[in-house]
Amino acid sequence: MLSNLKAQAPDKILMLIEEFKVDTRQGKIDLGVGVYKDAQGLTPVMRAVKAAEQQIWESQTTKTYTGLAGEADYRNALTGMIIGDGWPADRVASVASVGGTGAVRQALELARLANPAVTVHVSDPTWPNHNSILKFMGLPSVEYRYFDPETRGVDFEGMKAGLARARKDDLVLLHGCCHNPTGANLTLDQWAEVADILEKTGAIPLIDLAYQGFGDGLEEDAAGTRLIVSRLPQVLIAASCSKNFGIYRERTGLLLAVCENAATRDLAQGSLAFLNRQNFSFPPDHGARIVSTILTSDALRADWAAELEDVRKGMLALREQLADELRDLTGSDRFDFIAQHRGMFSRLGATPEQVQRLKQDAAIYMVGDSRLNIAGLNQQTVPVLARAIVDAGI
């Protein structure tokens, strides 16, 4: 039976990791997968995470099952971080998920349970795995314009025209901050216009919030999401702790369903727990417990937020440095968008051939659509990349 299986197309982002590993060239630079790296090229365990793990190790007396929806402490603390303290508890259903990807998948399953005819509107471009999951689930999807290849900013007129085509009870998948793969983000005024369109169409926003704290700050990066929650009766939010807590492999995420009233909230909560049970039963707990330990301790929370802020500022400094180098080398401001983008990624706007040239000639790896991971750079490699970008004719 298993011999009937078809070969699956490899994930383009994950494939790069393997290609990079076997490249024996000195000085190779990995700007592929979205993982934070410090100046030494390491992905450190954050101080507060280590401290929380120690506390858990010392105090935990059992590893018996958690609740099907995950621990309430975790869900409540993270919900506050995302939609702000004072969130409407009687309207919010939540479930711990297997990473941010698990939350996206679960959100789509929940939407399909509620509306079997759901169509999902996704930004063009979006994280490739969004499209891959949608295809795998057989959910119809439609792209809305998002990126302007000329300015490397948001094509907001195109986006609005696309969103206006959504129907009632369709899903509109939005990136809460730090758009992946482009790095181009909405202003708060633009979020307000998006809310207007969602109100008018009756489509439901599904906000993928995978990089809170990596763009303009923890609060600032949640501002668009909070605005949507304040304006719309129903909102789905898929959040990830992989990046901002640096706990990638612990698979720690949360799905929130903000509902119009308490009765619908109860229905959503029951369906979310049911979906967990069908898919994997109880959600992973270790990462969730790290997060709740940090968020509910003033000292650990402050230390974690300070370290996250250092990470964010480090990425911003690298953005500035790269834009400066390219301004010097090209005598033009056409790469200034790199300093304006936010989060881990920027889309350079290079052709696949140019991206290939960077790999072949300079051992610089980035995703084929010319998405580069800023956090894969350091002060020494920025000039190397800038030179290679110019040499590749980008």
Q: In the bound complex, what is the minimum distance in angstroms from residue 369's beta carbon to ligand LMR?
A: 11
Q: Which of 30, 155, 170, 208 is catalytic?
A: 208
Look at residue 40 and give its three-state secondary structure: coil
* Nearest distance, CB of residue 18 and ligand LMR, angstroms: 14
> Shortest distance, CB of residue 373 to ligand LMR, whole angstroms?
7
> What is the nearest approach in angstroms of ligand LMR to the Cβ of residue 90?
33
Question: Of the listed 93, 195, 203, 210, which one is catalytic?
Answer: 210
Backbone angles phi, psi at 136, to 5 degrees: -60, -40
Residues 6+ apart with CB under 8 A from 271: 110, 113, 114
- β-bridge partners, 204: 171
Please identify, using beta-carbon distances, which residue of 106 and 293 lies nearer to ligand LMR: 106
CA distance 105 to 216: 27
Distance CA 223, CA 229 (A): 10
Nearer to ligand LMR, 248 or 335 (CB): 248
Distance, in Å, from the CA atom of 6 to the CA atom of 43, rounded to the nearest integer, reads 35
Q: Kindly write out the interface string for residues 107-146 of this chain, putting x where it contacts ligand LMR by CB under 6 A and - elsewhere.
A: --------------------x-x-----------------
Residues 155-194 that bind ligand LMR (CB under 6 A): 180
Tokens of 391: 């040499």
| Residue 31 and residue 365 in contact, taking contact as beta carbons nearer than 8 Å | yes
Query: Catalytic site residue 210?
Result: yes
Out of 20, 30, 34, 48, name the contact with ligand LMR by CB under 6 A: 34
| Identified catalytic residue from 77, 243, 359, 388 | 243
Q: Is 370 in the site for ligand LMR (CB under 6 A)?
A: no
For residues 379, 384, 388 and 390, what is the CA-based torsion angle, rounded to 10 degrees?
A: 70
Of the two residues 118 and 375, which places its CB atom closer to ligand LMR in the complex? 375
> Is 200 one of the catalytic residues?
no
x/- binding map, residues 197-216, to ligand LMR, per CB under 6 A? Answer: --------------------
Based on the number of CB atoms within 10 Å of its own CB, is 34 exposed (0-12), middle (13-18) or buried (19 or more)?
buried
CB closer to ligand LMR, 164 vs 280: 280
**Residue 224 CA, distance from chain mean position:** 14
- Binding to ligand LMR by residue 97, rule CB under 6 A? no
To ligand LMR, the closest distance from the beta carbon of 222 in angstroms equals 18
Q: Is 169 a catalytic residue?
A: no
Q: Pick between residue 13 and residue 197 the one whose CB is nearest to ligand LMR.
A: 13
CB of 164 vs ligand LMR, minimal distance in Å: 28
Which residues, in sequence order, are bridge partners of residue 347? 371
Structure tokens at 156: 């907001």
13: contact with ligand LMR by CB under 6 A: yes
127 is catalytic: yes
CB atoms within 10 A of CB 183: 26
How far, in Å, CA of 297 to CA of 286, rounded? 17
245: its two tokens: 């807590």
**Taking Cα atoms as reference points, which of 139, 69, 78, 72 lies closest to residue 97?**
69
Selected from 20, 29, 30, 33, the binder of ligand LMR by CB under 6 A is 33
Residue ranges that bind ligand LMR, judged by CB under 6 A: 13, 33-34, 127, 129, 180
Catalytically active residues, by annotation: 127, 208, 210, 243
